[in-house]
Structure 1
């Protein structure tokens, strides 16, 4: 009796935060996982170890998501190790907060390179190389709809991610590949918590009707749904934010 081939996922930004929890969640669902990281090899290897000790399969591959050659090599590594790619979770991103009047344009350019160019580079390879039945899952942010002061530059990059997501879903007509974005609300990750005092964190935790911050596990559950059973969800932005409007 033949067995179905192992499904394979690439998770960019997979060494920490939401990406790390997504790696572990997809591995628990039976995916072989490629943990992409930009610089922190130790944390990426720790993610691989966590997966393998739980009985799963994973490798770590370094790549700058905005470098087209590095991202092509990332997909090559996935295909060489596991035979193909079925799901791409593009969780890598960077955030710089500033009022528009005080914006450091060099910081803006760096954020654009990772968040916008990186999305195009990763999605381009995914569109070319995913197997049928696959899924592309990008990351936006619920701050895009909240219009919070200081977030203009970051929200602008995530607006671009949403635009790419919706268009790409339509460009892949006939390929049996879904394309969606997840837009977390305030989530207790190092990226979110860095530089915020306790009062600010408490105020943001009180915003959703569920009256808490999201957790990386909350977001990983949404990703796992879109990567697996959620085949009829396509060309959508899922605002996983506990009900903030």
Structure 2
């Protein structure tokens, strides 16, 4: 398909202020996209990301919102339309991790984890399907725990598991407009998102499960997301596992 480029496209990036989302925002902007940088609570980091994009000659705007609230999801896409005239790409990198035994998990923790990892993802896909231009791209962030199993991550992996089904259904429902829908499911990433849940010993164990004895690097995931947003338009309804062979036993 012609025109598989980020230049002059408008990208909405959920959690686009820092870590993987921040690198996605900056990379897309460097390639010529206008970026709507969503953040929940990290206003200063969102400002730094927007400033870095603008100083490099790109265009970006930040939007605060709680994506577990449908009104905030809609306002995020409203900003893309009002500021840049539309949206072409929607990437949701948001999520919340909790490592806790099932017997110790509270109802409040369960609701919060499924709210962030499942509900927010669902309504992000829904609103993207409504608002993206034809031939748009929707990309969600999953986890390689969807293809493995280990202790402690019942609400994290469980909350991310519905993404596969949301992705497949949306891929069929949006196909008539040429919108592709995919999930990228990395292994444990070398970000603060991961370290707060693990002991040093378990960090070393997770490293040992991947090629090169290392955690997933965000720099290795962004090219996959960029590919799906451009040349990979023929991929749809898929969950991709760029994880260095990561598994758990």
| TM surpasses 0.5 | yes
SS of the equivalent of 1:231 reads: helix
Match for residue 240 of structure 1? 242
**8 A Cα contact 1:22 1:217, kept in partner:** no
Match for residue 41 of structure 1? 43
Match for residue 172 of structure 1? 174
SS of the equivalent of 1:60 reads: strand
User: For the residues of structure 2 that align with 1:133 and 1:30, how far apart are their CA atoms?
Assistant: 18
Q: CA RMSD in A?
A: 1.4
1:96 shift after superposition = 1.4
CA displacement 1:43-96 (0-9 Å, x = unmatched): 111111111112111110011111111111111111111111000001111111
1:110 shift after superposition = 0.6
CA displacement 1:205-225 (0-9 Å, x = unmatched): 121123211111111111111
Residues matched between the structures, number: 242
User: For the residues of structure 1 that align with 2:173 and 2:203, how far apart are their CA atoms?
Assistant: 40
Match for residue 129 of structure 1? 131
Match for residue 52 of structure 1? 54
Match for residue 106 of structure 1? 108
- Out of 79, 82, 86, the residue aligned to residue 80 of structure 1 is 82
User: For the residues of structure 1 that align with 2:7 and 2:161, how far apart are their CA atoms?
Assistant: 36
1:5 shift after superposition = 7.8
1:198 shift after superposition = 2.8
User: For the residues of structure 2 that align with 1:172 and 1:223, how far apart are their CA atoms?
Assistant: 19
**For residues 196 and 34 of structure 1, do their structure 2 counterparts lie closer, same or farther at Cα, with a shift above 3 Å needed?**
same
1:14 shift after superposition = 1.0
**For residues 5 and 97 of structure 1, do their structure 2 counterparts lie closer, same or farther at Cα, with a shift above 3 Å needed?**
closer
Match for residue 3 of structure 2? none
SS of the equivalent of 2:175 reads: coil
Between 1:200-209 and 1:40-49, the stretch displaced more is: 200-209
**TM-score, structure 1 as length reference:** 0.95
User: For the residues of structure 2 that align with 1:87 and 1:149, how far apart are their CA atoms?
Assistant: 35
Match for residue 20 of structure 1? 22
CA displacement 1:13-54 (0-9 Å, x = unmatched): 111211111111111221111000111110111111111112
Match for residue 94 of structure 1? 96
1:200 shift after superposition = 2.1
Match for residue 65 of structure 1? 67
User: For the residues of structure 2 that align with 1:104 and 1:220, how far apart are their CA atoms?
Assistant: 34
Structure 2: state its 5+ residue gaps. Answer: 1-5
Structure 1: state its 5+ residue gaps. Answer: none
SS of the equivalent of 1:123 reads: helix
**TM-score, structure 2 as length reference:** 0.93
- Out of 190, 203, 206, the residue aligned to residue 204 of structure 1 is 206
- Out of 10, 13, 20, the residue aligned to residue 8 of structure 1 is 10
Match for residue 223 of structure 1? 225
**8 A Cα contact 1:25 1:221, kept in partner:** no
**8 A Cα contact 1:51 1:57, kept in partner:** yes
SS of the equivalent of 2:231 reads: coil
